[in-house]
Amino acid sequence: MSTKPIIMVVDDQPDLIDGVKLILEVEGYEVWTAANGQHALDKLESTFIRRNEQGGKALPDLILADIMMPVMDGYTLFERVKANQFLREIPFIFLTAKVDDVDIRRGKELGVDDYLTKPAQPDDLLSTIRGKLRRTNPSSQSGSLPMGPKPLPTTKRPMPSSSQQTSPPSGTIILVAAIVVIIIITLVVIYMMQSGAY
């Protein structure tokens, strides 16, 4: 069973859902999607029951939801999630085109964890999600949450011993000696030509 962090994306725009899903999956998240608030609640309930029976991770680690949706809007979804004892601890972020001060204040008054406006830049989206997951459950973030590209492994070379550091290879000594001899011969020939002895 997957141990990846799970993000639920709730939006009535299929193109937006596909784009956000791709960004999150590339970063190593498992993504659940829903087309409106009611669909999200139904999916949370059915998945919770099914995964509990199978012994897997039953709830998402974070919900990312639009506000303006048919059937059930984001505000109502947020209120229903926070009213449910099994769901209320899940961090909740609004991702919406509603940028009026009134809308932002309403979300903050409800107690939403964060507020992103569409179209959110991928880096802003990912850093907001990572930060919220880290603050919500810092002990689970050691190794389980992808934090961007991993550095390439480096191989440590043993330090050379003191004898290796002070003694250059014999081939190098011969080469240096040959260059010195050539330089000396060249200088002698030039001197002799200038002095007329050649």
Residue 158 included in any domain? no
Do 110 and 12 share a structural domain? yes
114 dihedral zone (left: phi>0; alpha: psi -120 to 50; beta): beta
Residues 108 and 189 in one domain: no
Whether 149 is in a domain gets the answer no
Give the domain range for residue 47: 6-141
Q: Against a cut of 0.75, is the pTM above it?
A: no
pLDDT over 50 (residue 131): yes
Whether residue 160 lies inside any domain: the answer is: no
Q: What is the rounded distance in angstroms from the CA atom of residue 34 to the CA atom of residue 176?
A: 74
pLDDT band of 47, cuts 50, 70, 90? confident
pLDDT digits (tens, 9 = 90+) for 76-123: 999 999 998 888 889 999 888 866 777 677 777 777 778 888 888 899
Q: Has residue 94 been placed in a domain? A: yes
In a domain? residue 78: yes
Residues 137, 191 within the same domain: no
Give the closest residue to 90 by CA, choosing from 117, 129, 63: 63
pLDDT (0 to 100) of residue 1: 53
Q: Are 91 and 111 in contact (CB under 8 A)?
A: no
Q: pLDDT at residue 155 above 50?
A: no
Nearest to 132 by CA among 86, 169, 94, 158: 94
pLDDT level of residue 143 (50, 70, 90 thresholds): very low
H or E stretch at 3? none
Taking a C-beta distance cutoff of 8 angstroms, is the pair 165, 66 a contact?
no
Whether pLDDT at 34 is above 60: yes
* pLDDT for the residue numbered 153: 37
Do 11 and 77 belong together in one domain? yes
Token pair for 119: 């179209």
Q: Which of 74, 60, 82 is nearest to 8 (CA)?
A: 60
Token pair in block for residue 100: 């009026």
On whether both 13 and 107 belong to a single domain, the answer is: yes
Instruction: Identify the CATH number of the domain in which residue 40 sits.
Output: 3.40.50.2300
> What pLDDT is stored for residue 42 in this prediction?
93
Number of domains present in the structure of the chain: 2
Q: Which of 101, 126, 141 is the last residue of a domain?
A: 141
Helix, strand, coil tally for the chain in percent (to 5): 50, 10, 35
* Residue 163, in any domain of the structure: no
State residue 39's pLDDT score: 96
Would residue 146 count as lying in a domain? no
Distance of CA 134 to the CA centre of its chain: 12
Which ranges of 73-160 would DSSP assign to H, the alpha helix?
Answer: 74-83, 101-110, 122-136
Q: Is residue 34 part of a domain?
A: yes
Cα gap 15→33, rounded to integer Å: 12
Q: For residues 132 and 130, what is the distance between their CA atoms, to the nearest angstrom?
A: 6
- Average pLDDT value for residue range 168-191: 68
Structure tokens at 126: 């990912």
Average pLDDT of the chain, as a whole number: 77
100 and 181 assigned to the same domain: no
Q: Are residues 14 and 104 in the same domain?
A: yes
